[in-house]
Amino acid sequence: MPHYTPPVKDQQFLLHEIFKISESDVPGYEELDRDFTSAVLEEAGKIASNVLQPLNTVGDTEGCTLENGVVRTPTGFKEAWDEMAAGGWMGLDASTEFGGQGMPYILGTATGELFSSANMAFQMYVGLSHGAASALAVHGSDEQKSTYLPKIYSGEWSGTMNLTEPHCGTDLGLMRTKAEPQDDGSYKVSGQKIWISGGENDLSQNIVHLVLAKIPDGPEGVKGISLFVVPKFIPNEDGTLGERNSLSCGGLEEKMGIHGNSTCVMNYDGATGWLVGDMHKGMRAMFTMMNEARLSVALQGYCQGEVAYQNALAFAQDRLQGRDVTGVKNPDGPADPIIVHPDVRRNLMDQKSITEGGRALVYWGAEMIDRSHRANDEEAEAMVSLLIPVMKGFLTDKGFETTVLAQQTLGGSGFTKEWGLEQFVRDARIAMIYEGTNGIQSLDLVGRKLPQNGGKTVMAFIELVKTFIKENEDNEALKEGFLEPLKAASKDLQAAGMYFMQEGMTNPNNALSGSYDFMHLFGHVCLGLMWARMGKAAQEALDGGAEDKEFYETKIATGRYYMARQLPMTTAHLARIQSGGDTVMALDAANF
């Protein structure tokens, strides 16, 4: 059975020594001192490891069942949901006006990490509900907000997002679900939506579906899409449940992983719904939530990596096979623990350096989202929008890779269900696909984000890296291990950026053929920057005589590993990018 230990110390290091949140000028951060965040994280950690983690295997084994339109979630999920609700975790970072705790998003992200590492399939019910509430909080009418938000934040009701249809996933312009206006101002929604996470479940009393649909005679394509709220039970004015709406779960998807989450086919048969936000502006409503939604998937990537790494590490410290080539380490045992072997180390260090770097990057993203929302900082908004596809695409690819590496640490045991590693691999896989496939993320990056503001934001990112290097150029402790590799990698990023600017206009296929590699190149530079910042902070702590020497030395060593062994990937990505689109597009579609 796998285990999970909340990495609160690592989280605290990021919050207080890298992002120094309690000293920050972001409104709301002033309350987040070390003791406070420690208490919150320890509490969330207990739920994660004591309540959610033990249900992770249960969820995978039992899965969800559909009988007579009712979806049954796995044993224990309902009790866990109620415990999360009672603890106020559903609305931790939601407005106090509607029953939330009013905490900043970065704290919701840090606690969300713990829940997601412990039980990704379960946390999806919470996360999607949170996402639906966020959309209503921004775009809903006052009445919609007061009707739905308190119920979702209290965990009484859950929420879903309905975008995909059988014939259209990425290309939402092809959508067929329609919403016909009624005399009373409501709409009748009809159509079929697929892959609706938590679309039907037995955790909550009501399910608040947010549904994209087209109002007849509206504009063609994506410009004719509107957003609707379509509750399973239509709420009475007093908040009690009224009439059952004409919608139902038509089936559950059988899938590779996240079995504990119900992935539903949802049928809307003239269901009553109400417009959310402006008519035909449904895509815009989606887009304003996209940064948060995609950041939470980026988080899922390194979260599965984290729990997989923890279990791989424990195995490597325990399993005895072979002897250290430089001298026996466990003379009293029949063999040495496999962690002595360099190739096992290489494997573990890849996992560790990616996971901890990924966490730093996601927290930075959360900090920028707070800065943009709470301080109306447009530069932070632009920067996080630029980096979101990198975070989502790169970190979910790398998170999946990490689970595969961790599985490999266990050898044959990694392939068995008994050890649980294979579940992490299967669960992590979805994060590369949903919320916009990683290919789509790379197109968003190169086609939309890179040219935004005339390239100003990407220049600002590169400037940020340069400034860091310049400010620390006299720091001998950082120079060789951190600054030089970061400089080299950021030069590759600049060269790639230049290539896209030159090619983007004249030969779009050249630019688009390199989009995926650019996303990875960019991701490596981001993690390089994060590690350089962490290396610097750790060095400062050591210079300042910090007590926990081993913690900071380990951070520095892990960072140096990343810089030496991961960052050189930028050269290969640059070479792929600069090879252009000719070899990619050479074949006729029929000659593959």
Active site residues: 435
Burial of 12 (0-12, 13-18, 19+ CB in 10 A): middle
Instruction: Please tell me the distance from the alpha carbon of residue 24 to that of residue 17, in angstroms, as a whole number.
Output: 12
Burial code (b: 16+ CB inside 10 Å, e: under 16) for 313-324 equals bebbeebeeebb
Binding mask 109-148 for a copy of itself (x = CB under 8 A): ----------------------------------------
**Distances 592 to 511, 579, 585, 589 between C-alpha atoms, Å:** 22, 20, 11, 6
587: which residues sit within 8 A by CB, 6+ positions away? none
Q: Which stretch binds a copy of itself (CB under 8 A): 90-98, 239-247, 356-364, 431-439?
A: 431-439
459 vs 505, which CB is nearer to a copy of itself?
505
Residues 484-523 contacting a copy of itself, CB under 8 A: 508-509, 512-513, 515-516
364 vs 400, which CB is nearer to a copy of itself?
400
DSSP string covering 532-552, please?
HHHHHHHHHHHHTT-S-HHHH
Q: Which stretch binds a copy of itself (CB under 8 A): 11-19, 124-132, 468-476, 581-589?
A: 581-589
43: which residues sit within 8 A by CB, 6+ positions away? 87
* Contact with a copy of itself (CB under 8 A) among 67, 185, 454, 587: 587
234 vs 335, which CB is nearer to a copy of itself?
335
Instruction: Please tell me the distance from the alpha carbon of residue 34 to that of residue 13, in angstroms, as a whole number.
Output: 10
- Cross-strand pairs, 161: 210
Q: Which stretch binds a copy of itself (CB under 8 A): 92-100, 330-338, 374-382, 455-463?
A: 330-338
* Contact with a copy of itself (CB under 8 A) among 349, 361, 382, 541: 349
201 vs 513, which CB is nearer to a copy of itself?
513
Do residues 355 and 306 lie in contact, with contact meaning Cβ atoms separated by under 8 Å?
A: yes
Q: What's the closest the beta carbon of residue 323 comes to a copy of itself, in angstroms? A: 9
65 vs 236, which CB is nearer to a copy of itself?
65
Binding mask 523-562 for a copy of itself (x = CB under 8 A): ---------------------------x--xx--xx-xx-
403 vs 472, which CB is nearer to a copy of itself?
403
* Contact with a copy of itself (CB under 8 A) among 12, 408, 453, 494: 408
Q: What's the closest the beta carbon of residue 271 comes to a copy of itself, in angstroms? A: 23
Instruction: Please tell me the distance from the alpha carbon of residue 363 to that of residue 113, in angstroms, as a whole number.
Output: 10
Q: Tokens for 97? A: 């006006």
Burial code (b: 16+ CB inside 10 Å, e: under 16) for 445-461 equals bbeebbbeeeeebbeeb
Residue recorded with tokens 């997989």? 308
* Contact with a copy of itself (CB under 8 A) among 96, 182, 236, 321: 321
By C-alpha distance, which of 456, 349, 466 is closest to 406? 349
When asked if residue 334 is in the footprint of a copy of itself (CB under 8 A), the reply is yes
Q: What's the closest the beta carbon of residue 544 comes to a copy of itself, in angstroms? A: 20
Do residues 312 and 409 lie in contact, with contact meaning Cβ atoms separated by under 8 Å?
A: yes
Instruction: Please tell me the distance from the alpha carbon of residue 452 to that of residue 457, in angstroms, as a whole number.
Output: 7
Interface with a copy of itself (CB under 8 A), residue total 93
Parallel, antiparallel, or unpaired: how do β-strands 233-235 and 263-276 relate? unpaired
240 vs 325, which CB is nearer to a copy of itself?
325
* Contact with a copy of itself (CB under 8 A) among 142, 325, 331, 545: 325
Residues 248-277 contacting a copy of itself, CB under 8 A: 253-257
392 vs 429, which CB is nearer to a copy of itself?
429
Do residues 107 and 93 lie in contact, with contact meaning Cβ atoms separated by under 8 Å?
A: yes
549: which residues sit within 8 A by CB, 6+ positions away? 542
Residues 162-191 contacting a copy of itself, CB under 8 A: 164, 167-171, 173-174
Q: Which helix (H) or strand (E) holds 489?
A: helix 484-506
When asked if residue 576 is in the footprint of a copy of itself (CB under 8 A), the reply is yes
* Contact with a copy of itself (CB under 8 A) among 275, 432, 486, 529: 432
* Contact with a copy of itself (CB under 8 A) among 42, 411, 463, 543: 411
Cβ count near 178 (within 10 Å): 16
Grouping H, G, I as helix, E, B as strand and the rest as coil, residue 323 is coil
* Contact with a copy of itself (CB under 8 A) among 249, 297, 425, 428: 425
Q: What's the closest the beta carbon of residue 84 comes to a copy of itself, in angstroms? A: 26
When asked if residue 326 is in the footprint of a copy of itself (CB under 8 A), the reply is yes
